[in-house]
């Protein structure tokens, strides 16, 4: 089931207070309409309707658990902010995941848990899973594109997003996004045959990919930024 609560929120523009319903977890099996709300960027969005001179619309970003039983996956979005330390989030999440796995019955397959730090990564991951694509292989492709085009797609300035909707049987379509402005830019196309070959390598030896992208947070950009810090 989905989980929500009523919160009294002040408008950041005019200060008007109102009670709003915010979701901490959504289950697309029991509440499929909430998935569409999320995809349309309307989930946890507040409209300042009580002040006629304001009418600001803003989104409240808070940790959100996305559950999709049909795909046996849980995606936990923990929004990054000035108070959130990525290393602490990862450590706490790994501990919680370990405790959850310990409590699971031996005959029950544990859910495929993922962790993301931005809403756009959450939406992208949902599309990747529903398309039946291998998430780690997709991130490996991004890693390769970044490293071969560092001057134009520096990970400190840009992230790559897979556009599943515009991808075809012949090509995967990636779009460059500015991490500061969120503006979308150049489209890059990657041969589907090359991706399929990597999936075969993954099926034969997943350990290499797991070593490159361990844990629940799988991100080529984060890996590249970590490499920069170490050099």
- Tens digits of residue pLDDT in 124-163: 999 999 999 999 999 999 999 999 999 999 999 999 999 9
- Domain housing 203: 63-230
Give yes or no for residue 228 having a pLDDT over 80: no
Torsion angles phi and psi, residue 155, rounded to 5:
-65, -20
CB atoms within 10 A of CB 171: 16
Start-end of H helices in 105-179:
119-130, 135-148
Q: Is residue 172 part of a domain?
A: yes
Name the strands in the sheet holding 64-68, side by side, starting at the edge strand that comes first in the sequence: 3-10, 17-27, 64-68, 73-77, 112-116
Give yes or no for residue 113 having a pLDDT over 50: yes
Q: Is residue 181 part of a domain?
A: yes
Q: Is residue 7 part of a domain?
A: no
Provide the number of structural domains found in the chain.
Answer: 1
Q: Tell me which of 109 and 170 has the higher pLDDT.
A: 170
Q: Is residue 25 part of a domain?
A: no
Q: Is residue 38 part of a domain?
A: no
In this prediction, residue 231 carries a pLDDT of 47
In this prediction, residue 83 carries a pLDDT of 58
């Amino acid at each position: 089931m989905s989980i929500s609560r009523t919160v009294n929120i002040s408008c950041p523009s005019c200060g008007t207070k109102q009670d709003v319903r915010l979701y901490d977890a959504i289950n697309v099996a029991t509440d499929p309409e909430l998935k569409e709300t999320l995809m349309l960027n309307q989930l946890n969005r507040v409209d300042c309707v009580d002040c006629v001179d304001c009418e600001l619309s803003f989104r409240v970003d808070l940790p959100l658990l996305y559950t999709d039983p049909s795909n046996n996956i849980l995606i936990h979005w923990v929004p990054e902010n000035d108070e959130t330390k990525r290393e602490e989030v990862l450590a706490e999440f790994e501990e919680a995941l370990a405790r959850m796995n310990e409590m699971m019955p031996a005959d029950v397959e544990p859910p495929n848990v993922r962790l993301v730090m931005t809403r756009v990564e959450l939406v992208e991951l949902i599309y990747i899973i529903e398309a039946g694509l291998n998430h780690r292989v997709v991130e490996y492709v991004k890693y390769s594109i970044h490293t071969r085009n560092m001057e134009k797609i520096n990970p400190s300035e840009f992230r790559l997003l897979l556009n599943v909707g515009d991808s075809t049987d012949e090509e995967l379509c990636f779009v460059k996004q500015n991490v500061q402005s969120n503006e979308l830019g150049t489209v890059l196309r990657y041969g589907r045959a090359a991706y399929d070959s990597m999936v075969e390598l993954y099926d034969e030896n997943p350990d290499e990919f797991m070593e490159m992208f361990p844990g629940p947070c799988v991100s080529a950009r984060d890996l590249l930024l970590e490499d920069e810090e170490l050099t």
